[in-house]
Amino acid sequence: MFRPSNGMSRRRLIKTGMAGILATGVSPLIFSKGAWAQEFCNNPTGATVTFGLNLPLTGAYAEEGADEQKAYELAIKHLNGEGDGGLINVLKPTALKGNGILGKKVEYVTSDSQTLSDVARAGATRMIERDGAIMITGGSSSGEAIAVQSLCQEMGVIFMAGLTHSNDTTGKDKRRYGFRHFFNAYQSGIGLGPVLGKEYGNERRAYHLTADYTWGWTQQESIKNATEALGWETVQTVLTPLGAGDFSQFLTPVLNSGADVLILNHYGNDMVNSLTQAVQFGMRDRQANGKNFEIVTPLISELMAKGAGENVKGIFGTSNWHWALQDEGSQAFTRSFGAAYGSPPSQAAHTAYVQALLYADAVERAGTFYPPEVIKALEGHEFDGMGNGPTLYRAEDHQCMKSVLVVRGNENPTSQFDVLNVVQEVSREDSTYDPAMFGGDLGPAEPAPLCT
């Protein structure tokens, strides 16, 4: 019997009752794949298991998306025991055997998210409902990642985030079913602050141009805090619409604002455009307050540096990973990727590849695809050999704790790929922060019976 005072249990009873009516009614006769016919969402019963790759193949971050796709295809090959095995050979500890996952061959379906949250969500839903994806991964904007992550929580499907750098992804908007290997804006601030102080001194006046969405806001806040801690002054912060294209109307006011550093909290094509246009405005040849005017791009990738060409020379930023790192894991990955596609992998490709492997490894260790068990296997997991040194998948917020790179645009590139130099590796100890800082609530691990 239920207690009358407890409304929830009464609701649940009605709900279950209705479910029973529905179950004995029309729907299961038509749909053998009803929610009650399986133990959890998309339990793989055949000889294969399907990954859902949610990739921005068009839109502002399309270049990252294309690189991620290459990385996932490579990772899936390696998981299935094809190719040279890549990072499977260097992951420590590893439960991967190179025969798929739990003996099931890995397959994949794709969806073009167009770098838009709405579309990303629709694509993820399609891959879960129709294509039976056991796990969703990918994306290269924090907007997408947060939207898809909350969907995956509702569906009870694990989401291994691709490139997403907002503090919110594993902060305010964190979810039990979402995991992020990539670093975040706060860690960029930790890494970049001291280097900027050393290079540009403690008396600087900064002007921020910021992409107007979750990632831009958190990065602006993090970098602002980090630079103000150095003693810098923030002259102005201006929000710019995502995908503005021509930033000139935001750049002209910078010239005589009294600022001597321009901080571009942009990413992807936006960054390529705003940086190129800022250089066209002569900002790098300018003097202000008796110092050289400088531009800083707190988050930068090889792909963007390539797009900006020589405008990026000498400019500081941070990266999650770089192909020229000398450790065994990075070398192995660069070799595999380069042999397959003729170019070194970007940081987006690296994080995508690692996420696919980490999921597979967690399933092997859990011995089941049942998401709550896989989540347990990932939470608090300590591993090494993936290119960022010893890494912890923190249980409190599902954020990876590892070293972070401060990079600088290469002044004398030897090839078209050699565009960024690593100037400093910020250790895991230094880049670790208190998970309670950004709030948020992971929510339950038990899946809601929503997946059909």
Partner 1 sequence: MFEVIFLQLLNGLDKGSAYALIALGLTLVFGTLGVVNFAHGALFMLGAFCAVAFRRLLTLETVTLDPTRLSPWGQPLEVRAPVVQAWFGDFGAVLVNYSVPISLLLAIPVMLIIGVAMERGLIKHFYKRPHAEQILVTFGLAIVLAEIVKATFGPNPIPQPMPTDLRGAADIGAFFGMQANVITYPLWRLIYFVFSLLIIGAVFAFLQFTTFGMVVRAGMADRETVGLLGIDIDRRFTIMFGIAAVVAGMAGVMYTPLLPPNYTLGMDFLVISFVVVVVGGMGSLPGAVAAGFLLGILQSFASMTQVKAIVPGIDQIIIYLVAVVILLLRPRGLLGRRGMMEA
Partner 2 sequence: MTTFMSRRDLILFFGFAAVVLLLPILAQPFGAAYPDLLQRFMIFGIFAIGFNILFGLTGYLSFGHAAFFGVGSYAAMWSFKLLSTNALPAIIFAVVIAGVFALAIGFVSLRRSGIYFSILTLAFAQMSYNLAYSVLTPITNGETGLRMAIADPRVLDRLFFEAPVAQPVPSLFGFSLSGWNGFFFSAIFLLATFFLAMRITNSPFGMMLKGIKSNQNRMNYTGFNTRPYTLTAFVISGMLAGLAGALLVVTDPLAGAERMRWTASGEVVLMTILGGVGTLVGPVLGAWIIKYFENIFSSFNDNILSAFFSFLPEGAREIAVTVSSKFVGDGWHLTLGLVFVLIVVFLPGGIMEGVRRIAARFSKADRDGTARERRLAPKAAE
- 84 is in the binding site of which of partner 1, partner 2, none (Cβ under 5 to 8 A by kind)? none
* Binds partner 2 by CB under 8 A, chosen from 2, 14, 198, 382: 14
> b vs e for 108-144, b when ≥16 Cβ sit within 10 Å of the residue's Cβ?
bbbbbbbbbbebbbebbbebbeebbbbbbbbbbbbbb
- Cα gap 119→138, rounded to integer Å: 13
Residue 326 engages partner 1 in binding (rule: CB under 8 A): no
Cα distance between residue 239 and residue 216, in whole Å: 8
Query: Which of the residues 195 through 214 are near partner 1 (CB under 8 A)?
Result: none
Q: What strands lie across the sheet with 391-393, from one edge to the other?
A: 381-383, 391-393, 400-401
151 binds partner 2 (CB under 8 A): yes
Stretch that binds partner 1, among 162-170, 244-252, 370-378, 423-431 (CB under 8 A): 244-252
Interactions with partner 1, residue window 252-281 (CB under 8 A) = 252-253, 255-256, 269, 272-273, 276-277, 280-281
Question: Is 443 among the residues that bind partner 2 (CB under 8 A)?
Answer: yes
Binding of partner 2 at residue 119 (CB under 8 A)?
Answer: yes
* Cβ-based nearer residue to partner 1, 72 or 337: 337
CA 383 vs. chain centroid, Å, equals 18
- Cβ-contact 410, 419 below 8 angstroms: yes
Decide whether 250 or 438 has the Cβ nearer to partner 1.
250
- Which residue from 50, 140, 167, 214 is in contact with partner 2, where contact means CB under 8 A? 214
The reply to whether 68 sits near partner 1 by the rule CB under 8 A is no
> Segment contacting partner 1 (CB under 8 A): 196-204, 302-310, 355-363, 388-396?
302-310
Nearer to partner 1, 273 or 399 (CB): 273
Q: Is 197 exposed, middle or buried (0-12, 13-18, 19+ CB in 10 A)?
A: middle
Is residue 184 a contact point for partner 2 (CB under 8 A)?
no
Instruction: Return the closest-CA partner of residue 54 out of 130, 2, 125, 105.
Output: 125
Among 25, 245, 380, 444, binds partner 1 (CB under 8 A): 245
- Whether 406 contacts 316, CB under 8 Å: yes
With respect to partner 2, which residue has the nearer C-beta, 54 or 399? 54
Neighbours of 65 (CB within 10 A): 30
Per-residue contact track with partner 2, 225 to 254, x per CB under 8 A? --------------x-xx------------
Does 338 bind partner 1 (CB under 8 A)? Our answer is: yes
- Nearest C-alpha neighbor of 152 from the set 130, 170, 179: 179
| Least distance from partner 1 to the Cβ atom of residue 336, Å | 8
Closest separation between CB of residue 148 and partner 2, Å?
10
Instruction: Name which of partner 2, partner 1, none residue 451 binds, using a CB cut-off of 5 to 8 Å depending on partner kind.
Output: partner 2
269 is in the binding site of which of partner 2, partner 1, none (Cβ under 5 to 8 A by kind)?
partner 1
Q: Tell the smallest beta-carbon distance from residue 292 to partner 1 (Å).
A: 13
Structure-token pair, residue 54: 């949610």
Q: Which residue has the tokens 């805090």?
A: 225
Chain residues 36-65 in contact with partner 1, contact rule CB under 8 A: 57-59, 62-63
Closest CA to 397 of 417, 373, 374, 380: 380
Residues 143-182 that bind partner 1 (CB under 8 A): none
Question: Interface with partner 2 includes 280 (CB under 8 A)?
Answer: no
Of 137 and 334, CB closest to partner 1:
334
Q: Which is nearer to partner 1, 99 or 252 (CB)?
A: 252
Provide the 3-class DSSP secondary structure of residue 411: coil
Coil, helix or strand for 87?
A: helix
Give Cα separations from 166 to 217, 236, 434, 436 (angstroms): 8, 21, 16, 16
Contacts of 257 (CB under 8 A, 6+ apart): 207, 235, 236
- Which residues lie across from 138 on neighbouring strands? 54, 161
- The residue (of 56 and 86) whose beta carbon lies closer to partner 2 is 56
**Nearest to partner 2 of 120, 357 (CB atom):** 120
Q: Does 292 bind partner 1 (CB under 8 A)?
A: no
Count how many Cα atoms sit within 13 Å of the Cα of residue 285 in the half-sphere of its side chain: 5
* Whole-number Å distance between alpha carbons of 200 and 133: 49
Pairing state between β 316-319 and 294-299: parallel
The token pair that represents 224 in the structure block: 């602002």
Short-list 34, 30, 116, 107, CA closest to 75: 107
Size of the site for partner 2 (CB under 8 A): 54
In the complex, the residues that contact partner 1 under the rule CB under 8 A are 57-59, 62-63, 66, 236, 238, 241, 245-246, 248-250, 252-253, 255-256, 269, 272-273, 276-277, 280-282, 285-287, 307-309, 323-324, 334-339, 342, 344, 415, 417
